[in-house]
Amino acid sequence: MDKIVIKGGKRLEGSIPIAGAKNAALPLMCAGILTDEVLTLENLPLLADIDTMQNLLVQHGVELTMRHAGGNGRRTRTFALSTPDLASSLAPYDLVRKMRASVLVLGPLVARFGVARVSLPGGCAIGARPIDLHLKGLEALGAEIELDKGYVQASAPNGLRGGDVVFPFVSVGATENLLMAAVLARGETRLINAAREPEVVDLANCLNAMGAHIEGAGTDVITIKGVEGLHGAVHPVIADRIETGTYAMAAAATRGSVELQGAELDALPSVIDHLMRAGVEVEATDGGVKVSADRIVGVDVMTEPFPGFPTDLQAQMMALLATAEGASMVTETIFENRFMHVPELTRLGANINLHGRSAMVRGTQDLTGAAVMATDLRASVSLVVAALAAQGQTEVNRVYHLDRGYERLEEKLAACGADIERISG
Ligand code: UD1
C-alpha cells in the first residue's frame, strides 16, 4: 500500500489549481442515465471515486467515452455519456459499499426505466448514514420500494408522478436523488427543506440545460415540473470547494501564502468567515482566491448544512486550529462519528479533548512528525495538513483514502515548496 511521507515545517508558497468538484461530478454523471442523447461533462477531476462511478454506470448500460485535457498546470477529464438502453438495473454491493454516492443511480434509474435494484450502503467509517430519506422521497413520487436481502428494489412501471417531498432534515444526496427522479415524473414536485449546497445547484443547472424545468435550486424549496424526456447538453463541473478549503487551511497551517486558481469565494461563505476570524487574509484575485497567514488564533466552529461550515472541512480546520494561539471548540452536527482523526492528530502532538459531539482544541506550536493512519478521506487529509505544519517526518498510511478525493495531492503541495513524497508499496 502506498504511503505519503512529509517533512514538515516548510511554508507553502505558490499557486494550486483547483480541480472540478468530486461531489458535483458524481451526481452529474448519474444524470447521464436520464437521456439517450449525449451529456458532455467537462472539468471532471482525476479521482478514484470518479472511476468507481464510471464502472457502475457502464454496467448499467451507460455508454461513456473519455477525453483528457490539460494546460496551465491543470489536467482534467471530459466524459461524454449517453444511455440508449438499460443493460442492468442492479447496483451491486461491492460498488455501493466502496462508494456511498453509488445510491445516486436510484432516482435516475427509476425515473427513466421504472426499475432499480440498489444495494443498501451499510455502515461506513463516519457513521450509520442510512438512505431512508431517499426511499421515502421516491415513495412520495409513486415508486414501490421493497427491501430484500440487503437490496432496495424500487419500481414504478407506469412512471413516477409529481408530489410534495418534505425532508425532516437536510440531506444533500436525498435532494439530488429526488431532483433526478422528479425531472421525468408526471406533474409538479416540490422538494421542501432541500439541501442548498452548490453541488445541488450545479446538478439543477445541468438538468435544466438538458431540458428539465427546475426552479429554486439553492433555496430550501425546489420546484420541478416534470418533462417527457431530456436531451443532451454540455456542462462544466464547478470548482471543488472542499479541495479549495483544504489547501487554504494547509497554507494557513504553515503560515504560508497560496493562490487557489479557479476557486470561488461564494461557495465557501462560512469557511472564509471563520478563516478570517482566525487571522487568515483572504482576497479574490483575477484567477481565483489568495490566502495568506502570519498568525492563527483559535475560533469556534460548528458544522452545518450549506451555507454553514461544511462537515467535509471539519477535520482539516481542526488540524489548522491545533496550531493556533488559544483554544477552539469544534462541534460536529452532521455525522455522529466524524472525529476519527482526533487520536491521530494527537499522535502528532495536538492537544484535543473530545466531549461528545464537540472537541476542545488547545493550540500548540509544537506539532511533531509521527506515523499516522486514517479511516476516511477528510480525516486523512487533515493529517497531511497537520504534518505540513509539524517539525520532523510524518508518514501517512492508507493513502487510497486520499486518492478518492484529492488528485495529484503531493504534486500540488510540492509545487508550493512542501517536502512531500509518495512511496509506493
Ligand atoms: C454528501 C457528500 C459528503 C458530505 C455530506 C454532508 C457527496 C457525494 N457526499 O453526502 O461528502 O459530507 O453530503 O455535507 O456529495 N441521512 C439520513 N438518511 C438519509 C440521508 C442522510 O439519516 O436518507 C443523514 C446522514 O447519515 C447524515 C446527514 O443525514 O447524518 C447528512 O447526510 P447527507 O447530506 O445525505 O450526506 P450525503 O449526501 O451522503
- The position carrying cell 459499499 is 97
Q: How many CB atoms lie within 10 A of CB 98?
A: 16
| pLDDT surpassing 70 at residue 124 | no
* Grid coordinates belonging to 189: 414536485
134 lines ligand 1 (CB under 6 A): yes
pLDDT for the residue numbered 78? 95
Query: In the chain, what is the greatest distance between 2 CA atoms, to the nearest angstrom?
Result: 64
Amino acid type, 161: R
Whether the Cβ atoms of residue 1 and residue 400 lie closer than 8 Å to each other: yes
Exposure class string for 344-368: b at 16+ Cβ within 10 A, else e: bbbbbbbebeeeebbbebebeeebb
Give 272-290 pLDDT, tens digit per residue.
999 999 999 999 999 999 9
What is the amino acid identity at position 335? F
Strand partners, 146: 153
Mean pLDDT across the stretch 356-365?
Answer: 96
Contact between 188 and 226 under an 8 Å Cβ cutoff? The reply is: yes
Question: In whole angstroms, what is the distance from residue 40 CA to residue 200 CA?
Answer: 18
Nearest partner of 258 among 284, 295, 291, judged by Cα: 291
Q: At CA 380, angle to CA 237 and CA 298, rounded to 5?
A: 95
CA distance 288 to 19: 12
CA–centroid distance, 174 to ligand 1, in Å, is: 8
> Tens digits of per-residue pLDDT, 65-94?
998 876 666 677 899 999 999 999 999 998
Q: Is the model's pLDDT at 247 over the cut of 60?
A: yes
DSSP for 97-123 reads HH-GGGGGGHHHHHHHHSEEEEE----
Cβ atoms 41, 235 nearer than 8 A: yes
- Mean pLDDT, range 185-190, rounded to an integer: 98
At 129, the pLDDT band (50, 70, 90 cuts) reads confident
Give the ligand 1 atom nearest the CA of 49.
8
The neighbour count for residue 328, using CB atoms within 10 Å, is 24
pLDDT in the model for residue 8: 97
Q: Over 60: is that where the pLDDT of 123 sits?
A: no
What is the mean predicted confidence (pLDDT) over 220-224?
Answer: 98
DSSP code of 186? B
Q: Residue 376 pLDDT more than 90?
A: no
pLDDT of residue 175: 98
Residue 140's identity, in one-letter code, is: A
Q: What pLDDT sits at residue 337?
A: 82
Q: 403-425, pLDDT tens digit by residue? A: 889 999 999 999 999 999 999 88
Percent of the chain with pLDDT over 70: 97
CB of 173 shorter than 6 A to ligand 1:
yes
Q: Classify 376 in phi/psi space as left (phi over 0), alpha (psi -120 to 50) or beta.
A: beta
21 contacts: CB under 8 Å, gap ≥ 6: 45, 198, 199, 202, 237, 238, 239, 240, 241, 242, 243
Q: What is the DSSP secondary-structure string of 265-332?
A: GGG-HHHHHHHHHTT-EEEE-SSEEEEE-S--B---EEB-STTSB-GGGHHHHHHHHTTSBSEEEEE-
Mean pLDDT, rounded, of the chain? 95
CA dihedral 89, 94, 99, 104 (to 10 degrees): 10
Q: Is 416 a catalytic residue?
A: no
Q: Is 311 in the pocket of ligand 1 (CB under 6 A)?
A: yes
Say yes or no to pLDDT of 99 above 80: yes
Ligand 1 pocket, residue 49 CB under 6 Å: no
**Among 152, 171, 177, residue to substitute to test ligand 1 (most atoms within 8 Å of Cβ):** 171
Crossing angle of helices 106-113 and 172-182, rounded to 10°: 10
Q: How confident is the model at residue 104 (pLDDT cuts 50, 70, 90)?
A: very high
Q: Among the options 30, 124, 206, 416, which is catalytic? A: 124
Q: Report the phi/psi class of residue 129: left, alpha or beta, with left for phi > 0 and alpha for psi in -120 to 50.
A: left
**Amino acid 228: pLDDT:** 97
Query: pTM surpassing 0.85?
Result: yes
Residue 375, pLDDT score: 80
